Structure 1
Amino acid sequence: MRSRSIGRRPRSAYPILLLLVPVLAACATDRPTATAGHVTESPSAAATAGQGTPGPGAAPASASPAASPTSASPAASPTRAPLRHVFPVDAKNVAYHPTHSAYPGTDIFADCGEPFVAVTDGQVLEVSRVDRFTKRGPLGPYNGGLSVSLLGDDGVRYYGSHLSAVADGIDPGVRVRAGQLLGKVGHTGNANNVCHLHFGLSPECQGHDDWWIRRGVIWPAPYLNSWRKRGNRGPAAEVTAWQRRHGCPKAPATTSGAG
C-alpha cells in the first residue's frame, strides 16, 4: 500500500484582500490624483488652504456682504462751498440809498481814500486809470472817471467807479479774491466833488464797450444789505434773468446819471 504524503493546502488570499481594500481606499482619498498633468486637490486640502484663486465665474468660499458690489455704500458726491461775497467798501462810516437816478445802481458814500474791494472771487475785466470825463464831452462813456469792473466766478460783473486811485497790479485778466483791494474811493468823473463809489451789477457783454450795461441793470441795495450784515446773498440769479429778458442792448436807454 502506497503511503500518501500529506501536504499543506494553500490558503485563499481572499480574506487578506478584504483587509487591504479599506487601507488602499484611504490612501487613494488622501493622495492628489493627476489628470492630464493637472493636480487637483482633494476637498479637504482646498478647504484647509483657503488661499487659492477662484476660477472664472466661481464665487469666493466665504464672501462677506461688505465685499459685494451691491452692498457697497455709494461715495458721497463733493459739495462746492458757496461763493463768498463781501461789502464793496471796507469801511465803517458808509451810507447808501436803495435807489438811484435814471437806472439801477447805488451810490455808496464814504470818505475819499477808503478801500474799494472785490466783492467776490473772480477776474478783472475793465480798468480805467485816467479820468477822461469833461462836461463838454459826451454824457455817459466817461462818467465813471477811474473805475474797475470784476467778473465774479458767479458770472456777475461788479463795477465800481469815481475812484481816486486803482490799486497796483489790478489789470484786465488778473485773478482776485473776495476782499482784495481794487482801488480807493474818490470823486473822479461826474461825481460832483462828492466822495462816493458808484456800484453796479450787470452781466458781461463781450465784443464792444457797453458802459450803459456795465454801470448797472439791477438794484444792488438788497445785496448790499445782506453783505453789510455779513450775509452771503448772491445776485447771479437776478442778473441771469435780466439778461434772458434783455440780452445785451446795443445802445443805452438813457445817457443821464452817474457812470
Structure 2
Amino acid sequence: MRVDTMRSGHITRLAVVTGAILLTGACSSPGGVAGINTEPPAPAAEAMAAEGPVTATIPPAASSQTPVEIPKGEEPVPVPPPKVSRFTYTFPVKGCSVSYQSRLLVLPKTTIWTGKGCAFVSPVDGVVHEVNDKNRWRPSTDRGRDREGRFVTIAGDDGVLYLGGHLDAITPGIAPGVRVSSGQQLGQVGNSGNARDTASNLYFAVSWKTDPSLWWVRRGMVKPWNYLNAWLKGNRTLSPADETRAVMSQTGATPRCTILCASKPTPEPTRKPRKPRDENIDIGAADPAGG
C-alpha cells in the first residue's frame, strides 16, 4: 500500500515538471510548438538578392586526343569532257572576248558581241554554201534576204548549216564549193546589214542546207546557245545535228516564211515639181505691129 502511494506521488511530480517545461518552451517559441518555426520561409528571389550574384569560371575540358595532321592531296588530274559525237567543233569567234545571250531573240539565233575585225571561223569541217560580199541592205526597204549584210554559210559535214552574218569583210578565197576545216577563218566581224547602227557583232544561226531562195531558213531554225556554251567551255564534240534533224522533221525541209519576212514597200520615186510657166506676156513681142 505504501509502495503504490509513493509511485503515484512520483508520477504526479513528474507530470507537473513536464508540463512546466512544455509551457516554458511554448512561450519562448513564437507561434506554436516548441522547436518548430512556424514563420514562412523567405522567397528564393529575396534569398538570392541577399546573397548577391554568383559568378563561376568553368575550366575547359582537357582534350584526350592529339591533333591529327591532314596529309596534302595531289593536284587533280584534268579529265577531258566525254566525246559525244565524231565531229570536232570550234567556237565561231576566235582570238577575241565575246558575250552573247542565251534566250530567244525573235528568231532562234544569237548575236555574238565582239570587236570589229575579229575572226569569224568555221564551226566545223564542211563546204562553203553561200557567200555574200555585198552589203545590199537598205533601211528604206529592209528586205529580209539582205538583213545579214555580208555573210558566209557553211554546210557542215554533220549535216548542219551555219550562218555568220554582219561581217565587215570576207576572207579572200572563200567562195561557194570551197572546202574548209573547223577553225578556219571565213571573214571579219563587223556591223553590215541591219546592224549598221549597233556595235560590231556576229549574227550566228543554225539550220539545214536549202536552196538560197529559201533565205528565211538560213536565218535560224535551231537554238544555238547550248552548243556555243559547250564549244566555248571545252566540250568540242557536242553536236547540234540531232536537234536540227528533229526540227526539220517537224517543220519540213522547206517551211514557209512566217517571221520578219515582209519587206517595206518600195516608196514611189519622188518627182520634182514642174517649174511654173511664166504667165507674163510681152506685149511688144506679141504685137509686132505695136497697135
- 2:141 counterpart SS class: coil
Task: Give the TM-score normalised by the residue count of structure 1.
Answer: 0.65
**1:18-57 deviation digits (Å, cap 9, x = unpaired):** xxxxxxxxxxxxxxxxxxxxxxxxxxxxxxxxxxxxxxxx
Letter in 1 for 2:166: H
Find the counterpart in structure 1 of residue 209 from structure 2. Answer: 204
Deviation at 1:101, TM superposition (A): 2.2
Higher helix share: 2
1:185-233 CA distance string (max 9 Å, x none): 0000001332000000001123x51221101111100000000012121
What TM-score do you get using the length of structure 2 for normalisation?
0.58
Matching of residue 140 in structure 1 with residue 160 in structure 2 = no
Counterpart contact for 1:100–1:107, Cα < 8 Å: no
> For structure 2, which runs of at least 5 residues remain unmatched after alignment?
1-84, 263-291
> What is the RMSD computed on CA atoms of the aligned residues?
1.6
User: Aligned pair count?
Assistant: 176
Whose Rg is larger? 2
Superposition pairs for residues 100-179 of structure 1, below 5 Å?
100-179=104-183
| Cα contact 2:96–2:115 (8 A) shared by 1 | no
| Identical residues among aligned pairs (%) | 37
How far apart in 1 are the matches of 2:187 and 2:104?
22
1:94, distance to aligned residue in structure 2 (A) = 0.4
Q: Is the 8 A contact 2:96 2:118 kept in 1?
A: no
Match of 2:240 among 221, 227, 235: 235
Cα distance in 1 for residues equivalent to 2:179 and 2:214: 22
2 CA distance for matches of 1:93 and 1:187? Answer: 17
Partner of 1:25: none
Task: Give the drift of 1:82.
Answer: 1.2
Deviation beyond 3 Å, 4+ runs, structure 1: none
What is the aligned partner in structure 2 of residue 96 from structure 1?
A: 100
| Alpha carbons 1:102, 1:256 under 8 Å: kept | no
Contact 2:98 2:114 in 1 (8 A): yes
| 8 A contact 1:139–1:255 mirrored in 2 | no
5+ residue gaps in structure 1?
1-80
Contact 2:156 2:162 in 1 (8 A): yes
Task: Return the offset for 1:254.
Answer: 1.0
- For 1:132 and 1:183, locate their aligned partners in 2 and report how far apart those are by CA, in whole Å: 17
Task: Give the letter for the 2:259 counterpart.
Answer: T
Give the equivalent residue in structure 1 for 2:184: 180
1:247 is displaced (CA, Å) by 1.1
Deviation at 1:139, TM superposition (A): 3.2
Contact 2:90 2:124 in 1 (8 A): yes
Q: Does 1:194 align with 2:199?
A: yes
Residue 255 in 1 paired to residue 260 in 2? yes
Of 250, 260, 277, the match for 1:245? 250
Q: Secondary structure at the match of 1:197?
A: strand
Distance in 1 between the 2:95 and 2:260 partners? 31
CA distance in 1, matches of 2:96, 2:137: 29
Q: Deviations over 1:149-175 (max 9, x none)?
A: 000000000100000000001000000
2: CA distance, partners of 1:169 / 1:180: 12
Richer in strand (by share):
1
